[in-house]
Amino acid sequence: MIKQSKDNVFNMLVIVAALGYFVDIYDLLLFLVERRDSLKEILGATASNDEIQRVGKQLLNWQMGGMLIGGIFWGILGDKKGRLSVLFGSILLYSIANIANGFVQSVPQYAILRFISGFGLAGELGAGITLVSETMSKEKRGIGTMIVATIGVFGAVVAGFMGNVIENWRYSFFLGGGMGLALLLMRIGVFESGMFESVKEKKVARGNILSLFKSRKNTFKYLNIILVAVPVWYVMGVLVGFAPEMMDKLGVKSFVPENGKCVMFAYLGITIGDFGSGLLSQLLKSRKKALGTFLFLTGIGIVLYFTVATYSEAAFYSTILFIGFATGYWAVFMSTASELFGTNIRATVTTTAPNFVRGSLILLPC
Amino acid sequence: MLIDLIGLYTNRIEAIIITGVILFVIAIISLWKLEETFNKDLNYLEESHIV
């Protein structure tokens, strides 16, 4: 068995958290990949493109709503009952929801299952990163979160690939759910964080999200970490997600970007970026310097998107790859979120912050 | 929402660019104010939570 030690960066916990995030991202992207095929079957062959797009957006909002509420629920539960129960509880919930998603026959059923799936998906990453941060040494924990994020984000590339390989969209959902359930078998050999266990014995309030807003200092600390990562979702949700419409509005006539290809190039860049930003943070011995470097690169990427990317198809996809790399500071963002607050509120902050960043997309519809 | 709001005063593409600039500037200021956490000892409790 692989031991769970403070200095072993490939310990059982890192592997489980990384694979959990892999399945998490796979399931998140799976809906985007299979949305069209599944809705064509459920709405009937006569459904127009506009109707498919409208229902697809509604389902995405259900999923996002589930993630926002789930983020708060799992975060508080992580501080009250433990990080491990959230890690495996969330994996179990979204896996069952995804398997059930493979059986849907109507839009209301689809909406309920997207909500439950989003609710479940919201807990895994925060619980995993909190556990990794609390169980590894302060010198090595950044490498642990870097491994979790890098392996996890690769799930997006696999989702895109499997979407093309598996003909029947229902089987793709079964596969996603099945992978999650298989992961639960790895529960043996993973232990609760010692820091949490010691806090449990003390007379202290745990997971009180409202107390984050009782002092100015804590409120700004919490808001600052969320706002640092919002450009990631501006880039992914607006510039990459709506790339065909954006290039059209910019007057580009020589090529039309493909959504699937954009997502693939962007996530390939993010995978490399997550590894790069995590490594840079370790080399510089600073989270802020690594975040600053990648935020600066994101700024350059945005400028390139509105200028150079419009020249040709090759320039466009190169820019998408670069912009993906630049926004790959998610690993360092998650590390920092987990390191900002004390043990009695850490899971709440680490789980809610990424979900509020994802949820900020609701404020930026294109 | 934000893009729509800015779009009331300018065209769609300019509204998207302005939104990006605003979010980027806010992110830089937030980063500047953020605490450095590398090497921070995590074994502590938030004081306001002690009952």
Question: Which amino acid belongs to residue B19?
Answer: T
**How high is the pLDDT of residue A244?**
87
| Chain A residues touching B16 at Cβ < 8 A | 238, 246, 366
A146-159 b/e (C-beta count within 10 Å ≥ 16 → b): bbbbbbbbbbbbbb
Q: What is the mean pLDDT of each run of 10 residues along chain A (366 residues)?
A: 60 90 87 85 87 87 91 96 93 95 96 95 94 91 92 85 84 92 82 87 87 91 96 89 88 88 89 95 96 97 96 96 95 94 95 89 60
Number of CB atoms found within 10 A of residue B7's CB: 16
Please give the structure tokens belonging to residue A145: 């979160």
For residues A241, A245, A246, A249, the Cα torsion angle rounded to the nearest 10 degrees is -170
- What tokens does A295 get? 């935020």
Task: Inspect the interface and report whether the beta carbons of A138 and B27 lie closer than 8 Å.
Answer: no
Report which residue type is found at B43. N
Could you tell me the two tokens for A128? 């995993």
Are A132 and A13 in contact by the 8 Å Cβ rule? The answer is yes
What local confidence, expressed as pLDDT, does residue A171 receive?
A: 93
Backbone angles phi, psi at A31, to 5 degrees: -65, -40
C-beta of residue B51 within 8 angstroms of C-beta of residue A211: no
Cβ-contact A239, A103 below 8 angstroms: no
Q: How far apart are CA A144 and CA A332, in angstroms?
A: 11
Q: Is A187 on the interface with B (CB under 8 A)?
A: no
Q: Which chain B residue has its CA at the smallest distance from A327's CA?
A: B24
Residue found under tokens 């600052």? A224
Helix (H, G, I), strand (E, B) or coil at A204: strand
Residue B3 confidence (pLDDT): 79
Nearest CA in chain B to A338: B42
DSSP assignment of chain B equals -HHHHHHTTS-HHHHHHHHHHHHHHHHHHHHHHSPP-TT-------GGGB-
Q: Which residue has the tokens 């808001």?
A: A223
- Chain B positions touching A362 (Cβ under 8 A) are 1
pLDDT in tens, B5-38: 887 888 888 999 999 999 999 999 999 999 999 9
Cα A20 to Cα A215: distance, rounded to the nearest angstrom: 34
Taking CA–CA distances from A300, the nearest residue in chain B reads B24
What is the model's pLDDT at position A2? 46
According to DSSP, residue A290 is labeled H
User: Which of residues B51 and A361 earns the better pLDDT score?
Assistant: A361
Cα torsion A231, A326, A347, A135 to 10°: value is -170
Q: What is the CA radius of gyration of chain B?
A: 19
- Residues of B near A (Cβ–Cβ under 8 Å) read 1-4, 12-13, 16-17, 19-20, 23-24, 26-28, 30-31, 33-46, 48-51
Q: What angle do CA A69, A74, A79 make, to 5 degrees?
A: 135
Give buried/exposed letters for A6-29 (b at 16+ CB in 10 A, else e): eebbebbbbbbbbbbbbbbbbbbb
**Does A300 contact B at CB distance below 8 Å?**
no
What per-residue confidence (pLDDT) applies to A81? 93
